[in-house]
Chain A
Amino acid sequence: MATDATQLPTSKAAATEDVGQIPQWQLMVRRFRRSKLSVSGLYVLIVLYVFMIFSDFLAPYDHNRLDSNYAWAPPSVIGFENGQLVTYKLKQTLDQVRFEWFYEPDLSAPLPIQFFVQGYEYRFLGIIPSRLHLFGVEEGYQINIIGADKDGKDVFSRLMKGSQVSLTLGFIGVIVSVIIGSIVGTASGYFAGAVDNFIQRLIELLRSFPDVPLFLALAAALPMGVPVEVRFFLITLIIALIGWTGLAREVRGKVMSYRASDYTAAAVAAGASHWHIITRHLIPNSLSHIIVVGTLAIPGAIGSETALSYLGLGILPPAVSWGVMLRDAQTIEAITSYPWMLIPVGVLIITVLSFYLLGDGVRDAVDPYA
């Protein structure tokens, strides 16, 4: 009777089909939504990016506008008088003992906050020229909703302008690195042989460099006197260059196992082209993994940009990024006497944190057992 062994006809396949009535992506969304932390991370990021898109509109001043009357000015006091929002002119006095500027709002001299004012010129989304800003005060005075730095530059305006670099550079760097990693990894795994061998040697070499020192050396080798856009581009390239090797290895492993699988063999037998097999079979199968790795890499890349700029090897003044702003917050003096200088640091931490939470949720949703 043992040779008569049979399985019941409607076995495993039937059971999985039933669960499969719910599409895979919907399952992922449900699993993602269960993680409250990740969902809040996503919402925070949406808010941050909306702010970034409208950053020039929201920022009242050019990020390099100096005003020595407002050096180390604290966050403006906002009041409500005669039916409108006002702030106050500042009385600037020198503290003779500590030799610091000391500010007090002059409550008898209200400054109405004006909305939809004309200010410095910018291009909305890099295209549409505009001078419109959400708010401002009378010419000759300043409103600093989160204070001013040592030169009287408005911290909020700098924060907004800096977001244009900090929220995009790491992100783009990761996208580029993910694209390189997937292409190289797929090629390596799919074509095997000499191509694979060469790529693996290259990856091995790149991984023999400790990444932070290599990163610093490359950044130090960047030309200094170039426009900020060029530097932005080059730093993005460095981030991409250093990040792709890990993903390429993982994708290669996946591709190799899929290549050995039956349906790839079937596609080959049916005369499908390399391109077809790669784009229709191999890439979709690694896609979820690629997305997870990418999402998890973004916070690190943002951190890299800020660290570089902080060290004076990344974005350089007069351009501004959150890393540049970190430099102003790095002294004990700033932390103890001008704590508002830490607000950009807080925003940076929240951004990175949100990306980590998002990435973690995405990973759990896509790949629940990892």
Chain B
Amino acid sequence: MLNYIARRLINMVVLLVVVSFVGFFIIQLPPGSILDVQLQRFRQMSGDISREQVRALEERYGVNDPFMTKYWKWISRSVQGDFGTSFETDQSVGDRIWGRLGFSVSLSTFALLFTWLVSIPIGVYSATHRYTVPDYIITFIQFVGLAIPGFLLALVLLIIATRLFNHQVGRLFSPEFIDAPWSFARVVDMAKHVWIAVLVLAMGATAGLTRIMRANLLDVLNMQYVQTARAKGLDEVVVIWKHAVRNAIQPLVMALGTLLPALIVGETLVAQVLSLPTIGPMYLSALRSQDMYLAGTILVILSALLLIGNLIGDLLLAWVDPRVRLD
């Protein structure tokens, strides 16, 4: 087991190196750099800057370095925990990322919990009532949930919340709580602000997982061991929840590994609409403004999250299903 985890971790490091290389290559592809944007802004504000100044800046950010040098500078510093200085804000990349990432992860975890709590019972209901009117209705709602773009739903909920309930959503905290220390009241305040985001984020995933749960359970219900369980004299509720769901849930457990990272990046649009300080919009603006160090770092971190998520998914699966062996 420990052996297995160690091997997976080593493999993960190798993959991350390749990912960082390829990712960085793609990100620095477009011509120009953030420096051009920066210089232009500079010129507008304070008129001219001398050639020497420009050169000094170029030197500092290494914009004219060959690709390998840029990559090496970035990766060697990153490994030491120094993610460099963002072009755009002159702020340490590390500080900016961690704060947002923490928020992204907690938001997505809430969304994930919501997804699970909702999709398992609904999937079970839908499968055990196949081809009945409620099943059709649930199916239809699921597909509508998959089809509505998240940001649009966010926008609509935002309007409803502000118009009907006079409820301030968007952002994280009410003004009085922004700098307050953590307390119960602050958590409640945060919950009031992020519920829309959690709901919207969870919507697509919930719809998808409900479908999967329904399909798996239908599969499992055809299995002989479900009949065996019934033949023992177990109540149908026990047959379903103890014997069938336990077997149908495995793909959902595996999905856990991919879903969390997917939710973390899936919120980009939603976060923009709701002006939430998460990692998605930050990545997007870094890409847009050619802030390659920031964008590259975020990409690698997200990739690491994905790989760790997969590992956790596999470990959970082995825990849930005795047939799965880790080797």
**Chain B residues whose CB sits within 8 angstroms of the CB of A335 once the complex forms:** 155-156, 159
Q: Min CB distance, B249 to chain A, in Å? A: 17
Are A369 and B218 in contact, with the CB atoms below 8 A?
A: yes
Bin chain A's interface residue count.
35 or more
Please give me the 3 A-B residue pairs with the lowest Cβ-Cβ distance, nearest first.
Answer: A353-B147, A352-B147, A221-B29
Interface segment among B83-91, B120-128, B281-289, B315-323: the answer is: B281-289
Q: Min CB distance, A323 to chain B, in Å? A: 9
Interface segment among B39-47, B110-118, B135-143: the answer is: B135-143
**Chain A residues whose CB sits within 8 angstroms of the CB of B29 once the complex forms:** 221
State which of A208, A311, A313 has its C-beta within 8 Å of the C-beta of B19. A208
Interface assignment of A109: CB less than 8 Å from any CB of chain B: no
State which of B140, B146, B284, B303 has its C-beta within 8 Å of the C-beta of A210. B303
**Chain A residues whose CB sits within 8 angstroms of the CB of B143 once the complex forms:** 37, 353, 356-357, 360
Are B30 and A212 in contact, with the CB atoms below 8 A?
A: no
Interface assignment of B302: CB less than 8 Å from any CB of chain A: yes
**Chain B residues whose CB sits within 8 angstroms of the CB of A313 once the complex forms:** 287
Interface segment among B189-197, B233-241, B260-268: the answer is: B260-268
Interface assignment of B144: CB less than 8 Å from any CB of chain A: yes
Interchain Cβ contacts under 8 Å between A and B, 8 examples: A37-B140, A208-B303, A209-B306, A210-B302, A212-B266, A311-B268, A335-B155, A360-B211
B interface secondary structure, majority: helix
How many A-B Cβ pairs are below 8 Å?
A: 119
Interface assignment of B18: CB less than 8 Å from any CB of chain A: yes
Interface assignment of A125: CB less than 8 Å from any CB of chain B: no
Are B298 and A213 in contact, with the CB atoms below 8 A?
A: yes
**Chain B residues whose CB sits within 8 angstroms of the CB of A218 once the complex forms:** 26
Q: B18, B146, B211, B283: which has the most chain A beta carbons within 10 Å?
A: B146
Chain B 208-259 interface residues, beta-carbon cutoff 8 Å to A: 211, 215, 218-219, 222
Interface size on B, residues (CB 8 A): 49
Are B149 and A307 in contact, with the CB atoms below 8 A?
A: yes
Interface assignment of B101: CB less than 8 Å from any CB of chain A: no
Interface assignment of B34: CB less than 8 Å from any CB of chain A: no
Interface assignment of A15: CB less than 8 Å from any CB of chain B: no
A208-B306, A210-B299, A216-B283 are known contacts; what are 17 more A-B pairs with Cβ within 8 Å? Answer: A37-B136, A37-B140, A205-B18, A205-B22, A213-B299, A213-B302, A217-B299, A221-B26, A221-B27, A330-B151, A335-B155, A335-B156, A345-B152, A353-B147, A357-B143, A360-B139, A360-B211
Interface assignment of B5: CB less than 8 Å from any CB of chain A: no
Q: Min CB distance, A144 to chain B, in Å? A: 22
Complex: how many Å from CA A312 to CA B268? 13
Using known A-B contacts A205-B18, A210-B262, A212-B268, determine if residue A353 contacts B144 with beta carbons closer than 8 Å. Answer: yes
Chain A 326-355 interface residues, beta-carbon cutoff 8 Å to B: 326, 329-330, 332, 335-336, 345, 348-350, 352-353
Interface assignment of A204: CB less than 8 Å from any CB of chain B: yes
Interface string of A64-83 (1 = CB under 8 A from B): 00000000000000000000
Q: Min CB distance, A68 to chain B, in Å? A: 27
Using known A-B contacts A208-B307, A369-B218, determine if residue A221 contacts B30 with beta carbons closer than 8 Å. Answer: yes
Q: Which residue of B lies closest to A368 (CB)?
A: B218
Complex: how many Å from CA A212 to CA B298? 12
Are B27 and A217 in contact, with the CB atoms below 8 A?
A: yes
Interface assignment of A107: CB less than 8 Å from any CB of chain B: no
Q: Min CB distance, B202 to chain A, in Å? A: 16
Q: Min CB distance, B262 to chain A, in Å? A: 7
Interface assignment of B271: CB less than 8 Å from any CB of chain A: no
